[in-house]
Amino acid sequence: MMGSCVLYCGIDIMTPASIFLILLGMYFAVGTVIGLVFVIIGIRKIDPVAAGAPLRVRFIFLPGTISIWPIVLYLWRTKLKAGSSS
Amino acid sequence: MTVSYTWVQWNKHKKIYDLIMLALSLIFVATFILTSTLVYKDDEAISAMILAIRAFGILAIILLHIILCIGPLTRITPLMSPILYNRRHLGVMMFFAALIHAGLALLFYGAFGVRSPFAGLFDGYHAYTSISGFPFEIMGLFALLILFVMASTSHDFWLAFLTPCLWKSLHMLVYLAYAFVLLHVVFGALQSERHPALATALIAGAVTVFALHIVSGLKEFKPSLQAQEADAPWIDIGLVNDFPMDQGRVVCIANQERVAIFRHNDGISALSNVCAHQAGPLGEGRIVNGCVTCPWHGYQYHADNGQSPPPYTERIPTYELRIEGERVLLNPQPNPPGTPVTPAVRSSEPSSDEVGET
Ligand code: HEM
Ligand code: FES
């Protein structure tokens, strides 16, 4: 192991494996933040059906946003634009 | 067909279906652990944790096979439609089985030792779980990540948000996940040469999935009907009596484009064969309560305008039909989605030599 970079929990962060897992963790972390904003506020502006759903129902869309947040961001933007121009 | 969203879109049928599948799954896991404990004794005894890991792994892969076979099977026999109807819930259930499997594996082989639970994913314990040292767990992880994407976007909201086309493409990734699962099991479990039964089952499963897709693909293929020179652009699609009452028929026009034909009351109507929900084959459906009903998940459309009955808002393209004598002619140019078209009716009573076939 490359001793200099071993975290206290035992992960050697310099192996390809650890780098992959850390990136994956970061991806999910970013997704969680974006997801929270999306389901609490964002969704109401772009989906009339979801807008009518109570918050606790909208939370079921959180895992999906976490898993594909780049697509969500892209479509969110497109839909907002389409909404404001019409 | 969404007017409001709920947590899980359950109805009575889906609840019964889910309960049965859940019960069968739990019975499978319990039986697996119990029989293995009875069979492998003393020296050969396997810890309950390992058995649980294996049981959930095998449960997940069985569910995955069912999911992959339902689609082609419904094309071959409509008897399978009720299972197709709730395939999505089955998919989510499979994800949870795989998640439990992976979670237990990571806990057992990782966290209880000195290493981080995840370190083992790539380089941890192959010394005794596989001969070649191929990191089979990483294949499992890739599969699990794909299954997560699909399970987490299975709600109808995602179908609407992503558009059916993108949603469907995303969910086609299930085949990639299947490939990863096969690698995971081939390199991991199989290489430790524990059970020839698993190898046989795996090969049989893969062959079945493959064969079913080929057979249903062949069945799907229909020669395209061409317009008669003299009567272009109208295409002769057959006799009025070729089309059964209230039962759909698919005809294939140029470019493998499919049109669903429905005979209802006295008239015949033509709609796009592609359901607005997830592109199910409408022509393989029936007329229920006066509406064309998709065989996949039951979306409905009026045959004479391609519109879903209110409060639903789906619309699909319609086609013009005309009846000449007993022959049905179709204009291959689709109308914009939701365009009303008067159903074609026989212009007069058929002459005596034209009736007779039923
Ligand atoms: C991060 C993800 C995963 C990890 C870490 C993982 C780990 C493992 C491990 C350690 C084994 C060997 C168990 C043993 O024999 O002691 C195994 C076997 C197996 N896994 Fe996974 N797995 C993962 C994902 C999956 C997925 C997604 C599926 C299927 C959908 C799956 C299906 C199986 C099957 C069928 C076996 C063979 C069970 C047996 O040996 O009887 N795994 N997995
Ligand atoms: S494809 Fe789902 S109802 Fe038609």
Instruction: For B148-167, give the DSSP string.
Output: HHHHHT-SHHHHHHHHHHHH
Contact between chains at A68 and B148 (C-beta distance less than 8 A): no
Clarify whether residues B177 and B324 are in a common domain. Answer: no
User: Would you give the DSSP letter of residue B35?
Assistant: H
Give the span between the Cα atoms of B192 and B186, in whole angstroms. Answer: 10
Instruction: For B255-277, give the DSSP string.
Output: GGEEEEEEEETTEEEEEESB-TT
- The count of other CB atoms within 10 Å of the CB of residue B225 is 17
As for ligand 2, residues whose beta carbon falls within 6 Å of it are B 275, 277-278, 280, 294, 296-299
> Is the reported ipTM for this assembly greater than 0.90?
no
| Inside any domain, residue B1 | no
Across the range A24-44, mean pLDDT stands at 92
CA distance A8 to chain B (A): 10
Domain limits at B67? 12-219
What pLDDT is attached to residue B180?
Answer: 94
CA distances from B134 to A13, A21, B211, B314, B328 (A): 21, 18, 29, 49, 61
Which residue type does B332 have? P
| Inside any domain, residue B43 | yes
| Inside any domain, residue B7 | no
pLDDT digits (tens, 9 = 90+) for B251-303: 887 766 788 999 888 889 999 988 888 778 888 888 888 889 888 778 889 98
Q: What is the CATH number of the domain that holds B296?
A: 2.102.10.10
Cis peptide before B281 (omega within 30 of 0): no
The backbone region for B279, taken as left when phi is positive above 0, alpha when psi lies in -120 to 50, beta otherwise, is left
| Inside any domain, residue B138 | yes
Q: Which of A22, A16, A5 is nearest to B135 (CA)?
A: A16
Overall number of domains in chain B: 2
Q: Which residue of B has its CA nearest to A19?
A: B119
Clarify whether residues B191 and B61 are in a common domain. Answer: yes
**Widest distance between CA atoms in chain B:** 89
Clarify whether residues B158 and B248 are in a common domain. Answer: no
pLDDT confidence tier of residue B355, bands split at 50, 70 and 90? very low
Contact between chains at A68 and B116 (C-beta distance less than 8 A): no
**Phi/psi of residue B338, each to 5°?**
85, 5
CA distance B223 to chain A (A): 38
Clarify whether residues B47 and B183 are in a common domain. Answer: yes
Token readout for B19 is: 């309960």
CA distances from B244 to B69, B252, B266, B291, B317 (A): 29, 17, 12, 15, 22
Q: Which residue of A has its CA nearest to B144?
A: A67
pLDDT digits (tens, 9 = 90+) for B122-179: 554 444 443 445 678 888 999 999 999 999 998 878 887 887 778 888 888 999 999 9
pTM over 0.80: no
Clarify whether residues B231 and B210 are in a common domain. Answer: no
pLDDT confidence tier of residue A4, bands split at 50, 70 and 90? very low
Clarify whether residues B190 and B246 are in a common domain. Answer: no
Contact B263, B246 (CB under 8 A): yes
Residue A2 forms contact with B (CB below 8 Å): no
Give the span between the Cα atoms of B98 and B106, in whole angstroms. Answer: 12
Q: What is the CATH number of the domain that holds B89?
A: 1.20.120
Helix, strand or coil, per DSSP, at residue B63: helix
Percent of chain B with pLDDT over 90: 24
Ligand nearest to the CA of B297: 2
The three-point CA angle B279-B281-B287 to 5° equals: 120
Please say which residue of B170, B199, B219 terminates a domain: B219
Clarify whether residues B68 and B204 are in a common domain. Answer: yes
Clarify whether residues B208 and B230 are in a common domain. Answer: no
Clarify whether residues B197 and B276 are in a common domain. Answer: no
Per 3-state DSSP, what percentage of chain B is helix, strand, and coil (rounded to 5)?
Answer: 55, 15, 30
| Inside any domain, residue B5 | no
Within the 142-181 window of chain B, which residues sit less than 8 Å (CB to CB) from chain A? 145, 148-149, 151-153, 155, 157-158, 160-162, 166, 170
Give the span between the Cα atoms of B282 and B248, in whole angstroms. Answer: 7
> How would you write chain A as a 3-class SS string?
CCHHHECCCCCECCCHHHHHHHHHHHHHHHHHHHHHHHHHHHHHHHCHHHHCCCHHHHHHHHHHHHHCHHHHHHHHHHHHHHHHHC
